[in-house]
Amino acid sequence: MKIKNGVNLHIIKETKFKTIQFLVRFRTKMSRQSVAKRVIISNLWETSNAVLTTNQQFQRKLSEMYGASFATGVSKKGDNHFLNIGMSVVNPKYVESDTVTEAVELLHQALFMPLIDEIGFDEDTFAREKKNLLHYLASTREDKSYVASTRLSELFFEDKNLSTPSISTVELMEHETRQSVFEYYKKMLLTDTIDIWILGDLTATQEASIRTYFSEMPFTDREPLTTVFYEQATSNVVREKTEKEAVNQSILQLAYSHPVKYGDADYLTMQVLNGLLGGFSHSKLFTNVREKESLAYYANSRFDTFTGFLKIAAGIDAGQRSKALTIIRAQVRALAQGDISENELRQTKDMLRNAYFLSLDSPSNLIEQAYIKQLLPDRQLSQAEWLQRLDAVTKSDVVRIAKTLNLQALYFMEGESLGD
């Protein structure tokens, strides 16, 4: 249902859950200029509003709603930045309360009744949340795998908006004020593409009530964001960086480009390729780099079909960098040369199939799948099509895609060599 141009309400009838799930998603282009503002807004949403002016009041309200959850967060997909509110309430038919209407009212308060004064967001609340976020962002520097991943992204992505973490950085956060964030918030309400999702066992009366309630909120027309994929040209130069850190376990990360987009004919082939390379415990990276050669504490891979990015990560001893790099790259070549057994192929497909069916038992995953379906309707597969295409992936398909992988960036966080 279109509430306004660029603002849509989606209701999914699903009877197997005892809860009603809500997701409100604001979507815009990823930008270094706005990302810190959006992260602060995320925190402010779940802290207080003009009706529930303290965090204690906010938490008490959730408790009165039979332990409802209200969680906010940010994420990236392609060149888009998502700002989300997620709620979960028990279905009203199990309790003596209209939890659905209460949830919609709470979302209304969060979106359109922020705790503000004549200057901007409430001074004390804003100062506290900004301080908490600065402490949190500073603490991420102690997560060496996270640091390595951000450094690899900086090497891989030519667009600095894309290499900026979705949670922002200390440097970007420090510049924000309660005035700057509130001015942005007013603009965001008018310009972001907004999707509202509700999933659960709702009655026709409840559905009608929800549609009426959201339609009466003061949303305005805006130009919807229609793109999500990010592409960049493959470079002939591998960008490398080594940094010394006081860590026992060194971290080696490689970034490859790949041509497969979400929903492409080769999308399931890419799933299988990643499973064979480093996605599962029987993968080549795990068995050859970690188990057989004992070169890594961990070795895995993951890929993104919205940016054309494939990452290999390994935790190694600093003195083993050259040998580990040689063997890691050999695993990618092995796939391109067809070193894939029938057992490896079958086991990978079995694990992907199991993961797919497990995802159907999660309400949040079901909403996410529905979200991608409406975002990219021409690229969505039905369950039968997904399973059929997975079964149809051949060894030669994997070889063909493996040959398109191009190493673009290499980051090494060098710690102490245990052999010294």
Give the Cα separation of 27 and 78 in Å (integer). 11
Give the Cα separation of 337 and 398 in Å (integer). 10
| The predicted structure's pLDDT at residue 293 | 81
Give the Cα separation of 31 and 400 in Å (integer). 35
> How does pLDDT run along the chain (420 residues), one tens digit per residue?
999 999 999 999 999 999 999 999 999 999 999 999 999 999 999 999 999 999 999 999 999 999 999 999 999 999 999 999 999 999 999 998 999 999 999 999 999 999 999 999 999 999 999 999 999 999 999 999 999 999 999 999 999 999 999 999 999 999 999 999 999 999 999 999 999 999 999 999 999 999 999 999 999 999 999 999 999 999 999 999 999 998 889 999 999 999 999 999 999 999 999 999 999 999 999 999 887 888 888 999 999 999 999 999 999 999 999 999 999 999 999 999 999 999 999 999 999 999 999 999 999 999 999 999 999 999 988 999 999 999 999 999 999 999 999 999 999 999 887 654
Give the Cα separation of 418 and 320 in Å (integer). 10
| The predicted structure's pLDDT at residue 295 | 81
CB 279, CB 302: distance < 8 Å: yes
| The predicted structure's pLDDT at residue 420 | 45
| The predicted structure's pLDDT at residue 419 | 53
Tokens of residue 354, six digits: 């199991």
Q: What amino acid occupies position 375?
A: L
Query: What global pTM score does this model have?
Result: 0.94
| The predicted structure's pLDDT at residue 155 | 98
